[in-house]
Structure 1
Amino acid sequence: MGVKSKAAAAIVVLLLFLGSLWLQGSLDYHWDSCLKGYNQLNKLNQLSNSSRTNGAEGALVLDACPGQTFQVSKLLSQLQAASTYPSDVLLQPYLSSWDELVKFMEALGPMVGLISQEIETKTSIIRQLALLEKEPEGELGPDLNSIISVNTEFGTKNTLEVSHHTGGYHSVRSMISMELKRGLVDFHHQTDSGCRTLLRLHRALLWLKLFLEKLAENPETGRHRSPSELCREAYQSTLANHHTWFVRRAAELAFIAMPERSFFFRLVCVQNQEQFSSLLNRVVEAIGGVYDRTQEALEENGMLDLP
């Protein structure tokens, strides 16, 4: 066996190994049902024109994309709901938007499970903290590791609806204020506080925002770069700055197996780059609103570098 063949075989074995560690469940592409009689861009344009006619900005409403687990319509509605309060982010729709983004990442292939599984762990931490805040105050001490170890069934997607809880974990700013008052945020040592966990999600959101921005771009040369290349580039300028060498190498391998651009069209039920760009720009704008508000809240409280 030649050197190149051995190297290729080694990469395949490593990818399979990483996939077994980082992804649970199977992948279902549903290739054929998505585009039957469905043109999402026409609905997008109609809604946009209607909003201009009525003089209202309005919320973007999209139909479900048949045959897909990830639904861009749900993602947009949750992102918009998270930005209901001025200068703040509601945590329940914020976490629900991450549920959709996890489905998006899982659709890209088993290797991206490295990141999506870690994100699910982070959203579960905040959901459990919100649940346990209902307990008597004396039971919510600074030992957050013991808190996170119980009620693990609430770590599954969409199990705990934080919107029904109006306490400290109602919004980003209320969580920051409450955890600071209770001494739950350590600026020098690693903890599983909600604020530290939010910071990790916040960094990942910037990566996805940048990746989607790049996917939406129409190059001057007429040649689109591959999603694999764009995702790697977005990762290198964001999450890679906070990951260990091993995680960076594993992520690089994950991006190699990313689907081609046509797969993304099917994933959101569009037929060409023009429709894709129009839809993605709305998603990026919604993500940007949530990201900017979270960034401002964390920066005001000196939390952008929590260990």
Structure 2
Amino acid sequence: MGVKSKAAAAILVLLLFLGSLWLQGGLDYHWDSCLKGYNQGNNFPQLSNSSVADVVEGPHVSVCPGQTFQVSALLSHLLATPAYTSDVLLQPYLSSWDELVKFMEALGPMVGLISKEIETKTSIIRQLALLSKKNPEAELGPYGHSLNSVDTQSEEKNHLKGSHNTDAYHSVRSMIWVEMNRGLVDFHHQTESGCRTLLRLHRALLWLKLFLQKLAETPVAGRLRSPSELCKEAYQSTLSTYHTWIVRRAAELAFIAMPERGIFFRLVCVQNQQELSAVLNKVVVGIGEVYDRTQKAFEENGMLDLP
């Protein structure tokens, strides 16, 4: 085997290692099945939110023919995710991740390796939700929500009364409440909890939000920086904090394979940077609302550093 072949093989091994360890320390629990049909047809009640409403303003986002990733579908899921005053519905949240996985896979095999770990973690939450429905062993707070949540206000109760929801994994706050009461969350040791798994997705969502935000920037003067450079910068500000030295180095290798900006134009069906910025800013606002609500729920329950 020549020097170039050995180098290529070494890089591939590192990237595979990155894919398995991407979301802080690797995948700790493996599940045999990847469930994709997580109540996709359910319609959950939700309250309007001014920040989320901003997403629908501006130019219409069209369906892109002939490709798997659809930014219009991503925006639809993001708009359906915030609920009530400060909660996040898990079904559209996970559907948003499904679309983001397609986005990453469209950027090439090296970047797509990262998406495999994310898919595994969304599958863990879906599996826990399915098991919970089969064996509902814990009582929920009022109307299926957390008792220590600020979402037990009268306006929200009126919306929830009509839903008669008893699904433990209906939302972020209901999941937190149920898993805490079932003793599934341990603040000192790793456990098979949806809360811990969601925290890893939550951290990755901040990385993607910052990357897309940087990609949407239109400098007044000077060149547009490469997506590879922007992705690396976003990673260094977010996920790198939770990664070991070798994972950080592997991540930098993966970002080198990031395609040029023109690929992103085609992914969201736009012709130039101005149009790309308009579309990505919508996505960033939608992700930001979901991230902020999830962050608040974790903060209120002291879960931002679950092992």
Provide the TM-score with structure 2 as the length reference.
0.75
Contact kept, 8 Å, 1:226 with 1:260, in 2: the verdict is yes
Structure 1 pair 164–18 and aligned structure 2 pair: CA distance change class (3 A): farther
Unaligned runs of 5+ in 2: 20-52, 139-162
1:12 aligns with 2:15: no
Contact kept, 8 Å, 1:202 with 1:294, in 2: the verdict is yes
Q: How many angstroms does 1:111 deviate by?
A: 1.1
1:114 aligns with 2:110: no
Give the counterpart letter for 1:12 in structure 2.
A
Q: How many angstroms does 1:192 deviate by?
A: 2.1
Contact kept, 8 Å, 1:19 with 1:110, in 2: the verdict is no
Contact kept, 8 Å, 1:88 with 1:293, in 2: the verdict is yes
1:155 maps to none
1:182 maps to 182
1:132 maps to 131
Structure 1 pair 20–244 and aligned structure 2 pair: CA distance change class (3 A): closer
> Which protein, 1 or 2, shows the higher relative CO under an 8 Å CA cutoff with sep ≥ 6?
2
Equivalent positions of 1:113-262 (< 5 A) are: 113-137=112-136, 166-262=166-262
Contact kept, 8 Å, 1:22 with 1:113, in 2: the verdict is no
Per-residue Cα deviation, 1:216-263 (whole angstroms, up to 9, x for no partner): 011232300000000001001111111122221211111001100011
Structure 1 pair 164–126 and aligned structure 2 pair: CA distance change class (3 A): farther
Contact kept, 8 Å, 2:61 with 2:279, in 1: the verdict is no
Structure 1 pair 91–230 and aligned structure 2 pair: CA distance change class (3 A): same
Q: Secondary structure at the match of 1:264?
A: helix
- CA distance in 1 between partners of 2:96 and 2:229 (Å): 25
Per-residue Cα deviation, 1:132-186 (whole angstroms, up to 9, x for no partner): 00223469xxxxxxxxxxxxxxxxxxxxxxx997411000000001111111100
Contact kept, 8 Å, 1:209 with 1:284, in 2: the verdict is yes
Structure 1 pair 165–98 and aligned structure 2 pair: CA distance change class (3 A): farther
- CA distance in 2 between partners of 1:277 and 1:10 (Å): 40
Contact kept, 8 Å, 1:82 with 1:89, in 2: the verdict is yes
Q: How many angstroms does 1:84 deviate by?
A: 3.2
1:62 aligns with 2:58: no
RMSD: 2.4
Structure 1 pair 105–165 and aligned structure 2 pair: CA distance change class (3 A): farther
Contact kept, 8 Å, 2:110 with 2:257, in 1: the verdict is yes
Unaligned runs of 5+ in 1: 24-55, 140-162
Q: How many angstroms does 1:128 deviate by?
A: 0.3
TM superposition outliers: structure 1 runs of 4+ over 6 Å = 20-23
- CA distance in 1 between partners of 2:180 and 2:225 (Å): 45
Give the counterpart letter for 2:79 in structure 1.
Q
Per-residue Cα deviation, 1:27-51 (whole angstroms, up to 9, x for no partner): xxxxxxxxxxxxxxxxxxxxxxxxx
1:263 maps to 263
Contact kept, 8 Å, 1:22 with 1:111, in 2: the verdict is no
1:103 maps to 102
Structure 1 pair 93–217 and aligned structure 2 pair: CA distance change class (3 A): same
Contact kept, 8 Å, 1:18 with 1:114, in 2: the verdict is no
User: Number of aligned pairs?
Assistant: 247
Structure 1 pair 81–132 and aligned structure 2 pair: CA distance change class (3 A): same
